[in-house]
Structure formats: C-alpha cells, structure tokens
Structure 1
Amino acid sequence: MNVEELVRDSLREQAAEQRPADPRFADRVLAVRRRRRTRRLASLAGAAAVAVAVAVGVPLLDSGDEQVRPAGRPAGSGTSAHPDQSPPRDLIAAGDTALAAYYTTEVVARTEVRGVEERAYWLLDPATGRYEKDGRWSFVAVAPGLGTAAVLERALPARRIGLLDLATGEVERWIPAPQGAGGLAFSDDGRQLIATTYDENPDLRDRAAGAGGGSDWISRFGRSSRTGFLVADVRGGGAGWSAVPATLDINARQDFAFSHDARLVYTQFIGGRDGLQRFYDLTGERVAAPVDERHLRSDVTARLSPDGRLAALGLTAERKDASYSAILDPRSGKEVARVRGAELLAWADDRRLIAWERTPGSEPYRPRLVLVTVGSERVVPLSGVNAQGPSGPGRRWWPVFAPR
C-alpha cells in the first residue's frame, strides 16, 4: 500500500461514537455494567474455548441458533436486522451493540472556493426503536445505554456541549467549551467525554479542479486548526483542557478518542512507527501506546474486543464476492484469525463484529452492514446496501454505534 492509499484509508470518517449523560446517567451506566458482568460470567468458559480454538487455527462453528428478529426496542442482546432498509428506519442491533444514530453529509458553499461539509443526523428513539431526524446538531456521540447523547450545535467550533435526553429530545445540561469543540467521543464505560478543540471549523472544504474539467470539494489536507482536547466527567464533575497542536501530515479533522481503559487518548497520525495513531496522557503529554493497543490502527474503529483478548485490524484479502479482515492477538500483534468484512466497525460481543461488507455480485464495491463471527464464514445482513459515490443507490450514510 503506498502513502496515498494509506492516507486515503485513514481519512475515512469514523462514526465513533458515544455521548454524555443526564442526572440519571450514572444509574443507567451501573445497570449496563451489571448486565454485562452477568453475561461475561455466564460466557467465560465459552470465551476461553474460543480463544484456544483461534490460537490453534481451528475454525469456530456458528450454531446459528440466535434469532434474527425485526426491529424492536433497544434493550436486549438479540439481533435486529433490516436488510431492506438503507438508510435504516428501524432499530439495527446485534449483541451488546446498537446503531445509535447515523448521519449523511452535504457540502454547503460559502464562497466560490470555500465550503463546509455539514452533517444531518438521525437519532434512535429509545421508546419506538425508530430513527428520527434531528437537524439541530453538527456532531453527535451516543453514550452506553442509548439514553443520552452529547451534541454540538450547528456552528463549529461550538462553545458548549449539550447533554441530550434521547427520550425527551431536550438538553438537560450544558458543558462549557470555551476553547471551541469540534468532535466528541466517550470512554468505553461512559463516565468520561472527550471533546477535540479547534480554532476553526474542522469540516471546511476547498474547491479544486476534478476529473473531466469539473470541480470537487476536498478536505484541507495538511492543515488543521486543532488546539487540543477537553475531558469532562459526565456525572457532573469538572472538565480540564490540554493543549495538543495538530500534526501537519493529515487532514483538517484530527479528533481524539479514549484508549480502552480511558487512561490515555489517541489520535490519527500518518508516518513513523505509530501504526496510524499517537497516544497522549490526560494532561496532553505524548506517551507510548498501551501494550494491548500498540498494534491497532486508528482507522479501524472496532479496535479491542470487550474482553480485550482480540484486536480488529484492517482489510487483509478481497475477492469479488467476499472480503476478509485480520484479527490479532493484541499483545503480540500476531494474526490469529481472519473474519469476513471489508471494514470492522464495532464488536457486538467478544467474538462477533458489525462490519461493512461488499454486497455479493455488486460492482463497483457497494457495502452493507453485516454481522460476522470470528472463525465462521457466516454473514448476517443487517442493513440494505449503502450508496457509494454519486452513482450509488440513494444517499450515502455513516453509522454511529454505542453499547446498549
């Protein structure tokens, strides 16, 4: 893979995605953690068998006995699939993870040569299990439990962060962001929120000459106004800002996200031996990657499995009707399995993932959301085919996942 391809891959927008909480959020988080602890204890023996089977290269057999049901309420751990819907209208979920929201983008011209890429969000209504458009927000992250979202108002960088109750549609608390917030992400336990700060809108676009004599809107590659990050305690505690200037070898949006244990943060980086990522402590000092995340890539959003035993990596092999991505031992970096999927987006549980996978028989590449299993060829379609470029069916959309 050459540098241009590496950069292009790394600039795929990640729907990362989490959110802050209302005054009842701590209770919801504790309830989610109790449910997960119970499930993990019940599945401990099975998880150990999975690890052994993968390590020795024995394929894991998919029993196929999990019910795939139509859209329902967000609670539960079953699979809600809608392969006839794109963009989705009804709940899509698998295991512990749900599609909490999705967004589309459109470049709005400000001058003949300058524009801004704006997002339009559809948020999951936890009461109805349907996605409803909410045009108030430029950026949304959804927290574990699917009850609260962190939101930024339309004009970026935003000077405050809202904690939106998804049941009522009302903002219950505002967190000041005087440095100007442009991106949001939650820690895996939902207790902390990180906001990436910018001096100007990170989604600015410049008009450039395109193929065939036309023109295209392009990201401001090589320039970023990122200034640092703000970490807030979503239970109502304080928030602290750290200065981390942008690097010069990537595009304008250079958002931060938390490490698996939330003790560090990371951001995309091209070049060197950093694996497309650089890590910092919560004061903004650059540090070495954690031992179980040093082999990851920032452009593969699934990252570590919930139990931390497996790591998702990027596309490894591709055929006309199938794509395969690598699964690593996170500490050694050794490939221990391959799983179906062109882009691994989120773990549904300790051995299943939600991925973009090519639709069989479609040329050019047209992805759909699917559920895949480590050690199995089984692919369960979750959504309809996503648009890919101007010739695609319908409008392209990007998913936002969160634990339920």
Structure 2
Amino acid sequence: MNADQLLRDTLREWAEETPAPARPDLAGRALLRRRRRRATAVTVAAAAFALLVGGVAVPVLAESGQAGRSGPGQRMPNDVSAHPEESPPRHLIAAGGVAVSAYQADRKTRKQDGVERTTYTWYLYDPGTQAYEKTRWGWLDVAPGMRRAAVLEKTLPASRVGILDLATGEVTKWIPLKHKAGGVQWSPDGKRLVVTTYSGYPDSEALSGSGDEHTAPVRTGYYLVDVASSQTRYHPMGVDTSKALISSGRLDVRWNRDGKLLLVPLPPGGAMETWYDLEGRPSNKTPSYEGPDAPPAGLSPDGRYYTVGDGWTATVKETRTHRTVGAEYGGMTLAWADNGRLVRWDCRPDHNCQRGMGERLVLTDPTGRIEIPLSGYRYSDTPQDWEPLITRR
C-alpha cells in the first residue's frame, strides 16, 4: 500500500463520516493517522518481496550465531516457525512447504552376545496441543500433508501396521502382515506404503571382533501397501549374509521422489542394482540426483538447483551449468522448503561440531550465507540428541 492509496482511503472514510467541508490540514492529518499502519505494511511487504522474488533471495534476517534475533526492521517470514532455544524442539519447526513432523530421541544402546542394539523414542507433532508429544510407537512415518501417520507397535518387528489420525490421535485401521515389519515409509502421493520386514529387531549391529559378524537380524523383504483398500503385496528381498560387509540390521526400502521406483539398499548377492520397479524387478533407470549417497535435499522443486555432499559437507549447484552456488559448508542439506530455500544442519559459530554433535537446524538460501536458526543445537549422547523427520505439509 503506497502513500497515495493511504491518502485516498482516508479521505473517502472521512467524507462518509461527516458532510462538513474538509479542514485545510486534512491531507496532513490523513497521513499522520495512517503513518504507523503504513510503516508496518511496508516492512512486511519488503520482507516478503526479498524472500520470494526470483525464488532465490532471502531477507537479511538472522546471521550465523544470532540464535534467531533480528535487527531493526527485520521480521521472521510468515511461513517460518522457528524455536532456536529448543533442542529437542517442543513446538513446531517448519519453513515453507516442509515441517519437522516428528523426531527420534532418548536413544539407548545395549551390547549383548556380540550385538549392539539401539532403541529410540518417537515424538510426534500433535496439532491439538501444538507440541511434539512422546509416543508409544516403535517406528513411524508421517504422510505428506501431516494428517496421517503410519505406525508400528513398540516391540519390533511388528505383525501389523496402523494408520493414525493425527487430529484425533486414534488408529483408524490396522493392516495385518504375515511377515514382521521394522520400517515403514509413505509414498510421495500419500496413497501407499513401503513396509520393510526383518528377521528380528532392526536397529542392531554385529560388533567387530565378536567372533560372528552376522549375528544381527537382517532384512527379509518388503510390502507394498495400498492404504485405502488395505491390500498388500509382498516381495522377498533378503540380504546375503555371506558378505562380511553385512553387520547392520536396518536396511529400509525407500521410495524415490516421484514414487515410481524403490531404493533397496545392498540387494541380494551384492549386485550393483539398487533401484527396483514396483513389480520388484531391477530397474535400468537411475533417478537423477537421488541414490544412497545423495544428500536428502537433492533436487529443488523447480529443478534449478541440486545438492551434493559427503554426509557432512554440502554444496548447492545449478542443474543447467553445474556451477557451484556459494561456498561449501558444513552440515547436511535435508529438504527444500521451496525453490530458493533449504533446511539443513548448521555448525556452531566456532565450527567445533561433527555429524550429530554441535549442530542446529537452519533455513538458508542456496549460497548458505544468510540463514534463519530453526532449532537449538543438538549433542550426542545427551538429552539433546535427536533426529528429525521432515515432511511436506
């Protein structure tokens, strides 16, 4: 809204209020009356323009190390929910089209008979309390739109998968499974599930030097589940335990970004094919900017950028030229909030951090120079150790 428009609106309102002739200082009084309203509108408009124009630029908000504090005239974008003082978060962490729908925390590790077993507690966002609440589930995934979750009971592997209504907190249906499951993931369209089955507790790892490198449970296959009809289709897809490399139990099958292929980590016999079609056949197609070694963020929604990294450092590149945008920075890229903003892990200002320690969630532009802190810092082996589940909302 500009000054001319403000003046016209005020003159029209006063003309309706009284038939008397306008006073000589009418224009000055009009601008004075609307000055505060105009300043607020201009500030918000400027922030929105800087954030959205070109899908790349972001406003000068919180610089690294400022923990979400803003300087004069700075505002948090309306589509960002940040709590830089909370780790793990208690209230919603969200930006653009994505949100932390749940997270794992309270990790406990026990070693017995040459196997290291790790257990987690899941905290799920409850739209009723507007907070993350501790759950009784052993594993879960939240559907796009954040209205439903697929849940497995606490004792893994589980003999059924439940569909949880997030608004009511009630399981609306249970889908029985002949083969016990330890992992579940929604398809990108929110209509199907891939449910990974295991011979025992999935989050187990055989200890080096234990005398038997293959005592940990292994993947046995996976289900494709149509949620509306509850129909299931099972595909055996075990792990070749003759390979000395295999010592970890959790090797969940995952969807690719358009839901047409499945990534099956370490397929039988050590074959190089990792992508399978929905009929369970190895696929010759390899999705661009996806794979077991690709950062979770991958390709931006408009296809202009993609991320590369080694699990710790990350770089954003242009897909057309493969030119690096900005500099390499520490912290895995997790998701694109929109065409020009990324959610990623970020190091402490002193850079004294490593994977899982001394990191916080931030929202950043592709260059990584300007960022908004979204959460507090997390630390390994403390109550602040947590792993987010990021979902499109």
Q: Common fold, TM-score beyond 0.5?
A: yes
Amino acid corresponding to residue 334 of structure 1 in structure 2: H
CA 1:335–1:280: 2 relative to 1, 3 Å:
farther
2:258 matched to 1:244?
no
2:260 matched to 1:260?
no
User: Contact conserved, 2:197 with 2:221, CA < 8 A, in 1?
Assistant: yes
Amino acid corresponding to residue 286 of structure 1 in structure 2: P
Which digits, 9 at most, give the CA deviation of each residue in 1:190-228, with x for residues without a partner? 12211111122211245668xxxxxxx9xx789652122
Q: Write the distance in 2 (CA, Å) between the matches of 1:93 and 1:311.
A: 21
Q: Write the distance in 1 (CA, Å) between the matches of 2:61 and 2:271.
A: 43
User: Contact conserved, 2:206 with 2:214, CA < 8 A, in 1?
Assistant: no
Pair member with larger Rg:
2
Q: Write the distance in 1 (CA, Å) between the matches of 2:282 and 2:216.
A: 21
User: Contact conserved, 2:114 with 2:215, CA < 8 A, in 1?
Assistant: no
| Matched residue, 1:118 | 119
Aligned with 2:338: secondary structure?
coil
| Matched residue, 1:398 | 387
CA 1:273–1:154: 2 relative to 1, 3 Å:
closer
User: Contact conserved, 2:377 with 2:384, CA < 8 A, in 1?
Assistant: no
User: Contact conserved, 2:100 with 2:388, CA < 8 A, in 1?
Assistant: yes
Which digits, 9 at most, give the CA deviation of each residue in 1:215-251, with x for residues without a partner? xx9xx78965212211112223522111222254353
| Matched residue, 2:335 | 346
| Matched residue, 1:202 | 202
Q: Write the distance in 2 (CA, Å) between the matches of 1:204 and 1:356.
A: 26
Higher strand fraction: Structure 1 or Structure 2? 1
Aligned with 1:383: secondary structure?
coil
Q: Write the distance in 2 (CA, Å) between the matches of 1:364 and 1:402.
A: 26
How far is 1:160 from its partner? 0.5
Amino acid corresponding to residue 131 of structure 1 in structure 2: Y
2:299 matched to 1:304?
yes
How far is 1:65 from its partner? 7.7
2:138 matched to 1:146?
no
Aligned length: 322
Amino acid corresponding to residue 349 of structure 1 in structure 2: D
Amino acid corresponding to residue 284 of structure 2 in structure 1: A
User: Contact conserved, 2:152 with 2:182, CA < 8 A, in 1?
Assistant: yes
2:251 matched to 1:225?
no
Which digits, 9 at most, give the CA deviation of each residue in 1:352-395, with x for residues without a partner? 1111111112524411111111135101111001013x4xx633
CA 1:65–1:266: 2 relative to 1, 3 Å:
same
| Matched residue, 2:378 | 386
Q: Write the distance in 2 (CA, Å) between the matches of 1:308 and 1:228.
A: 33
Q: Write the distance in 2 (CA, Å) between the matches of 1:259 and 1:361.
A: 36
Q: Write the distance in 1 (CA, Å) between the matches of 2:174 and 2:150.
A: 9
User: Contact conserved, 1:61 with 1:375, CA < 8 A, in 2?
Assistant: no
Within 5 Å, give how 1:107-186 maps onto structure 2. 107=108, 109=110, 111=112, 113-114=114-115, 116-134=117-135, 136-186=136-186
Q: Write the distance in 1 (CA, Å) between the matches of 2:287 and 2:337.
A: 23
Deviates more, 1:221-230 or 1:152-161: 221-230
Aligned with 1:173: secondary structure?
strand
User: Contact conserved, 1:104 with 1:398, CA < 8 A, in 2?
Assistant: yes
Amino acid corresponding to residue 351 of structure 1 in structure 2: G
| Matched residue, 2:37 | none
| Matched residue, 1:283 | 279
How far is 1:149 from its partner? 0.8
User: Contact conserved, 1:228 with 1:243, CA < 8 A, in 2?
Assistant: yes
Q: Write the distance in 2 (CA, Å) between the matches of 1:224 and 1:113.
A: 12
How far is 1:116 from its partner? 2.7
| Matched residue, 2:315 | 326
Aligned with 1:348: secondary structure?
strand
Q: Write the distance in 2 (CA, Å) between the matches of 1:223 and 1:111.
A: 11
Aligned with 1:268: secondary structure?
coil
Aligned with 1:167: secondary structure?
coil
User: Contact conserved, 2:175 with 2:230, CA < 8 A, in 1?
Assistant: no
Aligned with 1:287: secondary structure?
coil
Q: Write the distance in 1 (CA, Å) between the matches of 2:271 and 2:160.
A: 36
Amino acid corresponding to residue 104 of structure 2 in structure 1: Y
Aligned with 2:238: secondary structure?
coil
User: Contact conserved, 2:239 with 2:266, CA < 8 A, in 1?
Assistant: no
Deviates more, 1:229-238 or 1:149-158: 229-238
> Structure 1: 5+ residue runs without aligned partners?
1-42, 51-59, 70-75, 210-216, 317-322
| Matched residue, 1:61 | 57
Bigger RCO (CA 8 Å, 6+ sep): 1
Q: Write the distance in 2 (CA, Å) between the matches of 1:157 and 1:108.
A: 17
Which digits, 9 at most, give the CA deviation of each residue in 1:268-314, with x for residues without a partner? 349x996xx821111221112434246x4446222232334433221
Q: Write the distance in 1 (CA, Å) between the matches of 2:127 and 2:330.
A: 28
Amino acid corresponding to residue 370 of structure 2 in structure 1: R
User: Contact conserved, 1:359 with 1:367, CA < 8 A, in 2?
Assistant: yes
| Matched residue, 1:213 | none
Q: Write the distance in 2 (CA, Å) between the matches of 1:222 and 1:329.
A: 45
Q: Write the distance in 1 (CA, Å) between the matches of 2:182 and 2:113.
A: 24
The percentage of aligned residue pairs carrying the same residue is 34
Q: Write the distance in 2 (CA, Å) between the matches of 1:221 and 1:102.
A: 29
User: Contact conserved, 2:118 with 2:204, CA < 8 A, in 1?
Assistant: yes
Aligned with 2:105: secondary structure?
strand
CA 1:257–1:83: 2 relative to 1, 3 Å:
same
